[in-house]
Amino acid sequence: MLKNIALGIAIGLLVMGGIWGLVHLMGDTVAPPALTSESMPGGNKGVMDLICELELDLDGQLALGIKENEPSRITMAQVDFEKNSGWYQGKIAISESRAGTLSLMGTRLKIYRPAMFQRFGVMITGEEFVIDRKTGSFAQSLSLQDGRTVKLIKGTCAKVIKPPF
């Protein structure tokens, strides 16, 4: 009787393994579609105007020793896909007159600009901000001369839809 049970279990496992193998062999092998400009919110052409609500990141504020409390603020940002550049308005910002270089990373737009200035008692060697087109999240960080990267500003952005008039 023990032999019959063991034989039944073995046959059951073989049948299940065969079915599992067939399902995976015959399954859909189509790769997920690549991210294209048509699937990206805002597309990858022309100029994308954004309006953002931004605030200081508490960790970055503490890391740089900023004692003042800055209220959140509404500001503009722009990404130019033809010029591969971008900017946003603010006190510590990649400004329109000195736009940064655009890099596309899936759904994320990264704008970076090298810098060399003293602020908050540290030497800042680079500025960047990243906007995620799916979530609208905004994050600005500063690269410091000592090798640290400090996330200073965070927030949310949305594409500005201009009326047809």
Structure tokens at 154: 């965070």
Residue 92: partners with Cβ closer than 8 Å, 6 or more residues away:
119, 127, 140, 142, 152, 153
- 84 phi and psi, to 5 degrees? 50, 50
Structure tokens at 13: 């496992």
What's the Cα-to-Cα distance from 129 to each of 15, 89, 95, 118, rounded to whole Å?
A: 55, 12, 12, 19
> pTM for the complete prediction?
0.69
Virtual torsion, Cα 56, 60, 66, 72, nearest 10 deg:
0
Render pLDDT for 18-69 as a digit per residue (tens, 0 to 9).
Answer: 787 767 667 655 545 554 444 455 567 889 999 999 998 888 888 888 888 7
Average pLDDT, the chain: 83
